[in-house]
Structure 1
Amino acid sequence: MTTGIPRTSYSFGGMIMVRYKGTLHAAAIFFACLMLIPKHSALAQTDMMQMMRQRLLTTSGTAEVRVPPDQLEVRLGVEIDAATASAARQQNAARAARVISALKSLGIPESSITTSVFTIDPVRRFDTSGQQGVPPIVGYDVTNIITVRTSQLDLAPSIIDEGVRAGANRVDAVVFGLKDDAAARQTALRQAVANAQNNARTLAASLGLTLVQVQNVQAGGTGVVPPPVTFRAEALSAGASTPIMPGTVTVNATATVTYLIK
């Protein structure tokens, strides 16, 4: 065994190495360093090796649940252009007040009627074509959007019709939804997990494998899709009542299941 004063010492890959007059004595120090590795780290490495040796099968599942809506939201409003901001605001305020009064006459409480958007914007344009630069301000546009929420789904046509008669010239959205979608989400998620399990059984059977136990389950998320509502803009000025059909709300979910197999 060579002894003497070390010339150099350094570390490499977590192992301390000392060179004695040209002879590298690393083995003993390496094993000494192994003794310093925390026990939990060694166990983690063992678990990782075991997982690498395991045979796993991962499948995904989807589900879609359709439920009737129980909440209606209508966004309608008044948009006014005038030469001055003050004039546009005053005209808009008068018409918006009539719209709100008409909505209340339908039995909708004031607490269910809110102002969701209010803007005053300058209107810029050139008087003639071919002009360049920043267009001058020729007027002002004032927009007041009112949101109505109610559980009376059959009021949708009346809200639009009476609102337009009172002065509304915009209908931005008609949305049928759910007050509480938690139950529907849970149902969709359970069905998505069941679908993933059925897919795993089908794959295992076709490949001659056996499902031992569930190793991991992950929820991919859930989503709520309201039914689409469309209507023609010219219906706002027509004499007939606006037909609105609520349809159904779609709640979807995805899930991933990993099985230990043999």
Structure 2
Amino acid sequence: MRAALAGIALLLAAAPARADDACDHTISVTGRAASSRAPDFAEVTISVETKAPNPAAALDAASKAVAGVVALGRDLGVPEADIGTSAVVLEAATRTITRPNGTVESQADGYRAANAVTIRLADMSRLGDLLRRALDAGANRIDSIGFGLNEPEKVDAELQVAAAKDARARAAELAEAVGTKLGRLCSLSGSDSAAPPPMPMAAQARLKAPAPGRRVPIAAGTIESRSAVSASFAIAQ
């Protein structure tokens, strides 16, 4: 749709100028449109953070638990393409100690490892089950939860059309208010606004175990999308 708007603007710019050009006197407006939609999918990043005396033990423990989360996603029917590793971290751990003389220093304290997997879930009614069962698989962090639309470009295209119609209606109202008539379209350009990408609800959150068998309550809400176009119309003589 943005390409279509750009094409119209290009044709208008290429039109030969005339002494009595109808676009010498114009009405310029901004048309707007918005929509509120339920999300099509949930995207959650679940990770496991472990600590051990040596790097291999720390990484192995984290990887084993994350393997359980991956298996859980498959068990819930999530396609392979919607399950992916998002981060693997291994670093030396330290701790701060205070000496009897009051000085503070850091000491080596083994190794810390983290392994994270991102799962995109189309059936959001199962998101609470996924988070609850991830605890049993060994997860101890939720890095982010987000919601998104499958076809944000389509949403943007629809809003661009609606915004263009709104611009025409606004211009017609203004023309009528000043006792004249609206002429042809002189210019049209669209904004870069679009349906947003998956938006995070929470980050770096520690999982807290609910009562046995209880799902983690999640409210998806709606996704707000907006668009705007600028248009200029000739005033009919």
TM-score with structure 2 setting the length: 0.76
Counterpart of 1:181 in structure 2: which amino acid?
P
Larger RCO (CA under 8 A, 6+ residues apart): 2
Asked if residue 195 in structure 1 is aligned to residue 169 in structure 2, the reply is no
Alignment partner, residue 60 of structure 1: 30
Alignment partner, residue 220 of structure 2: 246
Q: Deviation of residue 137 (structure 1)?
A: 4.3
In structure 2, the CA distance between the partners of 1:66 and 1:228, relative to structure 1 (3 Å rule), is: farther
Native 8 Å contact 1:71 1:177 kept in 2? yes
Counterpart of 1:202 in structure 2: which amino acid?
E
Native 8 Å contact 1:65 1:187 kept in 2? no
**Unpaired stretches in structure 2, ≥5 consecutive residues:** 1-13
Counterpart of 2:230 in structure 1: which amino acid?
T
In structure 2, the CA distance between the partners of 1:50 and 1:75, relative to structure 1 (3 Å rule), is: farther
TM-score with structure 1 setting the length: 0.70
| Partner of residue 138 from structure 2, selected from 167, 187, 193 | 167
Alignment partner, residue 145 of structure 1: 116
Counterpart of 2:52 in structure 1: which amino acid?
A
CA distance in 2, matches of 1:204, 1:219: 22
In structure 2, the CA distance between the partners of 1:234 and 1:87, relative to structure 1 (3 Å rule), is: closer
% identical aligned pairs? 24
In structure 2, the CA distance between the partners of 1:112 and 1:208, relative to structure 1 (3 Å rule), is: same
Native 8 Å contact 1:229 1:245 kept in 2? no
Alignment partner, residue 260 of structure 1: 234
| Partner of residue 85 from structure 1, selected from 43, 52, 55 | 55
In structure 2, the CA distance between the partners of 1:104 and 1:236, relative to structure 1 (3 Å rule), is: farther
Could you report, residue by residue, the CA deviation over 1:160-194 in whole angstroms, capped at 9, with x for unpaired residues? 11112211111122222222233322211111111
Q: Which has the larger radius of gyration?
A: 1
Report the RMSD for the aligned CA atoms in angstroms: 3.2
Could you report, residue by residue, the CA deviation over 1:91-142 in whole angstroms, capped at 9, with x for unpaired residues? 111211222223333333444321011122333453237548xx55433322
**Unpaired stretches in structure 1, ≥5 consecutive residues:** 1-43
**Size of the alignment, in residue pairs?**
216
In structure 2, the CA distance between the partners of 1:209 and 1:237, relative to structure 1 (3 Å rule), is: same
In structure 2, the CA distance between the partners of 1:86 and 1:213, relative to structure 1 (3 Å rule), is: same
Counterpart of 1:221 in structure 2: which amino acid?
D
